[in-house]
């Protein structure tokens, strides 16, 4: 733990720094007493906010996974051109979406103990760095899932005349609505991941 060697630490270290530096004791003791408390509290506040954001991200990722994963609509009629049933596993992009959001949910649950470590020890830079690196990868992962699904959902809603891809949402209204909600939930999870990376970076910055 390199944090024990730094100047901004707990009250135990103040006595040591006081004994090593002899000159101007009155002003010096006042500043060394004020700084670690303020810094520790500030960093702990960020860590607690990080923990709350992680729980929000778990909810968003789980909602995205389950909404998409349970989407399955059977039409009460059939025509010559359109099929009877629409399910998420008809499209490979939606299957990737479900897998990616399930992985994101699993990672977030596993990251909670590390987040608690950051609350208990506000100066543990190693845990913060580890979370930041994995959070960055998950930003890309959840954004990729949400964006690719959004491209397909847009196509399902609007179709494309140039490529002769027809809109299917006139038939599968319930399917499209559920899928769109799942995409929105996944984008919320991605935005929370971006905020988690920023929070970790601000907490890592030294003073």
Nearer to a copy of itself, 103 or 144 (CB): 144
Kindly compute the dihedral angle of the four CA atoms of residues 38, 43, 44, 47, in this order, to the nearest 10 degrees: 170
Q: Based on the shown chain and the rule CB under 8 A, indicate whether residue 2 belongs to the binding site for a copy of itself.
A: yes
Strand partners, 165: 160
> Restricting to residues 4-43, which ones interact with a copy of itself according to CB under 8 A?
6
Considering CB under 8 A, how many residues would be counted as binding a copy of itself?
A: 49
Q: Based on the shown chain and the rule CB under 8 A, indicate whether residue 202 belongs to the binding site for a copy of itself.
A: yes
d(CA 205, CA 207): 7
Nearer to a copy of itself, 53 or 197 (CB): 197
Q: Based on the shown chain and the rule CB under 8 A, indicate whether residue 103 belongs to the binding site for a copy of itself.
A: no
Q: Based on the shown chain and the rule CB under 8 A, indicate whether residue 51 belongs to the binding site for a copy of itself.
A: no
Q: Find the binder of a copy of itself among 60, 64, 149, 192 (CB under 8 A).
A: 149
Q: Based on the shown chain and the rule CB under 8 A, indicate whether residue 90 belongs to the binding site for a copy of itself.
A: yes
Interface residues toward a copy of itself, by CB under 8 A: 2, 6, 81-83, 86, 90-93, 125, 129, 132-133, 136-137, 139-140, 143-152, 154-156, 160, 162-166, 168, 190, 194, 197-198, 200-202, 204-207
């Amino acid at each position: 733990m390199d944090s024990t060697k730094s100047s901004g630490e707990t009250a135990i270290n103040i006595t040591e720094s006081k004994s090593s530096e002899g000159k101007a004791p009155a002003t010096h003791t006042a500043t060394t007493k004020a700084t670690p408390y303020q810094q520790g509290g500030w960093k702990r506040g960020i860590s607690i906010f990080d923990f709350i954001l992680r729980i929000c991200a778990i909810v968003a990722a789980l909602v995205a996974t389950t909404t998409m994963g349970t989407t399955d609509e059977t039409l009460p009629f059939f025509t010559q051109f359109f099929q009877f049933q629409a399910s998420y596993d008809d499209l490979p992009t939606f299957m990737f979406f479900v897998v990616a959001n399930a992985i994101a949910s699993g990672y977030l649950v596993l990251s909670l103990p590390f987040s608690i470590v950051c609350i208990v020890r506000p100066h543990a830079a190693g845990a913060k760095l580890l979370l930041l690196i994995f959070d960055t990868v998950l930003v890309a992962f959840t954004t990729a899932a949400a964006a690719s699904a959004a491209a397909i959902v847009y196509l399902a809603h609007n179709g494309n005349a140039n490529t002769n891809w027809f809109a299917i949402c006139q038939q599968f209204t319930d399917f499209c609505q559920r899928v769109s909600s799942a995409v929105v939930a996944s984008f919320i999870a991605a935005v929370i991941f971006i905020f988690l990376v920023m929070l970790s970076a601000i907490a890592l910055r030294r003073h």
